[in-house]
Amino acid sequence: MENLAKELRHPIFRTVSQTAEMSGVECYVIGGFVRDLLLKRPCTDIDIVAVGNGIALARQTAEKLGLPQHAVTIFKHYGTAMFHYENMEIEFVGARKESYSPDSRNPSVESGTLEDDQRRRDFTINALAICLNENRYGELIDPFKGFEDLKNKVIRTPLDPVRTFSDDPLRIMRAIRFASQLNFSIEMCTLEAIHQEAHRLDIVSKERIVTELNKILLSRKPSIGFTLMDLTGVLERVLPWISNLKGVECINNQGHKDIFFHTMEVVDKIAANTNNLWLCWAALLHDVGKPQTKKYLPDSGWSFHQHETVGAKMVSKIFRTLKMPQNVKMAYVKKLVYMHLRPIALVEDNVTDSAVRRLIFDAGNDIDDLMMLCEADITSKNQEKVKQLLRNFEHVRKKIKDIEEKDRIRNFQPPIDGLYIMEKYGLGPCKEVGVLKSTIREAILDGRIDNNFEEALQLLTQEAERIGLKAVDEPTERKS
């Protein structure tokens, strides 16, 4: 193919080239940047391979760019160095060859040639290199026909795929991730090798696997990746809870929808409309409680009663098993899984202000994400039914907007707090304070009083008298 010199538009490439010429070093840009350059995809990570000392070339390049010495981060153990320049992250490494032991994905490394370095790459599309030396500047080096695989949209390993995946089983997840991100197919021998070596994923840390799962969830169509995981036996190893969703049981000629494929539809809809990773996780896990709650009832057919409650409880365990965050992110996913049927119930029944008000209060700032998840959860072969449900959802959305503007319910705090009640009635922390606070909150949510101090105070006075409390003082400050 033609020389790619004109495609190397970022000035960093000429600087690396000039530095390499001065040092007499052979150097190349390699890997993901070249792949994305040829696919015309944005990429801000540049990997430079030097046939020689990559750390020295990094330091010399940084100096030529006028960067301070401390701007270069050195990883001596791996023989790499990196720095940031403008909007790019540039990493330098010496060309190397690798060998692996069966019980670790961390290789033994020694210096090598460019071809050695290309041979150790995971896939042909990531083994492409462009020469940066002056006399060959822009020349594409492609010993494994990676450019052809790019054109044909194929994921294939440079060497024997069984050995490739056995040496570093994380490459299994990367193959599936690239297929999902790029909408590529995996070449048949490579796919069979993934199936054969899926057990090797047991030596990969949960954190590294989750990193790949996150990238799959953020791809344009995550179902590609999850379907490939299912096909190759990877899914049952890394996400057994999702694998358990597969299959349809039939009793008395009554079957239920395949929960796995339904989940894939929901995840794809969410991924197409947001880059919120944790909303994607909520979509993936929203029906995870169904296998445990599945029952056949002769009078009404299949039931998954309280699967949202069971699923929400499972979220904590799943996140903990996968060594994912045990913080507000997990709580967010758990909340959406637990609440994902609430808006659907409103659609099916007459929508009352009280029900919508409680939905807004319980969902808080996550109400919009919850509505997006619930709309994505509408999957049916009956398109008229889908259209009708979506029209009903629009009605719920309008009610949410109207009540929000009128009552300011989202994450609201009642206009009278516990401190006010204690000061007014001379109480310390006690059951009565909690009861009075709850009475005011429930009255606002039910729409019996408006969300303002005056009406809340009137109700407080009535309820306090009813349980025998008398005011001893008017608080100097009131909560409004």
Tens digit of pLDDT for each residue in 409-427?
Answer: 666 778 888 888 998 888 8
Residues 147 and 13 in one domain: yes
* One-letter amino acid of 264: M
SS3 string of the chain? CCCCHHHCCCCHHHHHHHHHHHHCCEEEEECHHHHHHHHCCCCCEEEEEEECCHHHHHHHHHHHCCCCHHHCEEECCCCEEEEEECCEEEEEEECEEEECCCCCCCCEEEECCHHHHHHCCCCHHHCCEEECCHHHCCCEECCCCHHHHHHHCEECCCCCHHHHHHHCCHHHHHHHHHHHHHCCEECHHHHHHHHHHHHHHHHCCHHHHHHHHHHHHCCCCHHHHHHHHHHCCCHHHHCHHHHCCCCCCEECCEECCCHHHHHHHHHHHHHHHCCCHHHHHHHHHCCCCHHHHCEEECCCEEECCCHHHHHHHHHHHHHHHCCCCCCHHHHHHHHHHHHCCHHHHHHHCCCCHHHHHHHHHHHHHHHHHHHHHHHHCCCCCCHHHHHHHHHHHHHHHHHHHHHHHHHCCCCCCCCCCHHHHHHHHCCCCCHHHHHHHHHHHHHHHHCCCCCCHHHHHHHHHHHHHHCCCCCCCCCCCCCC
Q: Regarding beta strands 45-51 and 301-303, do their DSSP bridges make them parallel or antiparallel, or are they unpaired?
A: unpaired
> How far apart are the C-alpha atoms of 476 and 334, rounded to whole Å?
41
Q: Which two tokens stand for residue 321?
A: 């098993």
Does residue 177 lie within any of the structural domains? yes
Residues 51 and 146 in one domain: yes
Count of structural domains, the chain? 3
Residues 89 and 10 in one domain: yes
Q: How many CB atoms within 10 Å of residue 127? A: 27
Does residue 147 lie within any of the structural domains? yes
Does residue 343 lie within any of the structural domains? no
* Sign of the torsion angle spanned by Cα atoms 363, 367, 373, 379: positive
Which of residues 177, 210, 238 is at a domain's end? 238
Angle in degrees, CA 242, 328, 265, rounded to 5:
30
Angle in degrees, CA 451, 457, 459, rounded to 5:
85
> How far apart are the C-alpha atoms of 182 and 201, rounded to whole Å?
23
- Specify burial of residue 324 (Cβ count, 10 A radius: 0-12, 13-18, 19+): buried
Tokens 């990429």 belong to residue: 43
pLDDT tens digits for range 107-153: 666 678 999 999 999 999 999 999 999 999 999 999 999 999 999 99
Q: What pLDDT score does 387 carry?
A: 83
Residues 12 and 148 in one domain: yes
Q: Which two tokens stand for residue 243?
A: 């694998």
Using alpha carbons, select from 116, 11, 101, 20 the residue that is nearest to residue 59: 20
Residues 48 and 91 in one domain: yes
Residues 214 and 179 in one domain: yes
* One-letter amino acid of 468: G
> How far apart are the C-alpha atoms of 266 and 280, rounded to whole Å?
9
> How far apart are the C-alpha atoms of 346 and 160, rounded to whole Å?
56
Residues 64 and 148 in one domain: yes
> How far apart are the C-alpha atoms of 440 and 169, rounded to whole Å?
58
Which of residues 192, 211, 238 is at a domain's end? 238
Residues 148 and 175 in one domain: no
Which residues of the chain, if any, have pLDDT below 70?
1-2, 98-110, 255, 348-350, 407, 409-411, 475-480
Output the domain CATH number for residue 200. 1.10.110.30
Residues 182 and 137 in one domain: no
Using alpha carbons, select from 196, 190, 197, 160 the residue that is nearest to residue 175: 190
Does residue 426 lie within any of the structural domains? yes
* Residue 245: C-alpha distances to residues 57, 127, 222, 370, 390 (Å): 52, 37, 16, 22, 25
Output the domain CATH number for residue 124. 3.30.460.10
Does residue 104 lie within any of the structural domains? yes
* One-letter amino acid of 412: F
Residues 198 and 228 in one domain: yes
Residues 169 and 95 in one domain: no
> How far apart are the C-alpha atoms of 294 and 337, rounded to whole Å?
17
Q: Regarding beta strands 26-30 and 129-131, do their DSSP bridges make them parallel or antiparallel, or are they unpaired?
A: antiparallel
Rounded to a whole number, what is the largest CA-CA distance in the chain? 95
Q: How many CB atoms within 10 Å of residue 371? A: 18
Does residue 357 lie within any of the structural domains? no
Range of the domain at 115: 5-152
Which of residues 192, 215, 238 is at a domain's end? 238
Residues 125 and 179 in one domain: no
Q: What pLDDT score does 255 carry?
A: 67
Q: What pLDDT score does 402 carry?
A: 81
> How far apart are the C-alpha atoms of 156 and 144, rounded to whole Å?
10
Does residue 301 lie within any of the structural domains? no
Q: What pLDDT score does 480 carry?
A: 44
Does residue 319 lie within any of the structural domains? no
Residue 435: which residues within 8 A CB-CB, separation 6 or more?
467
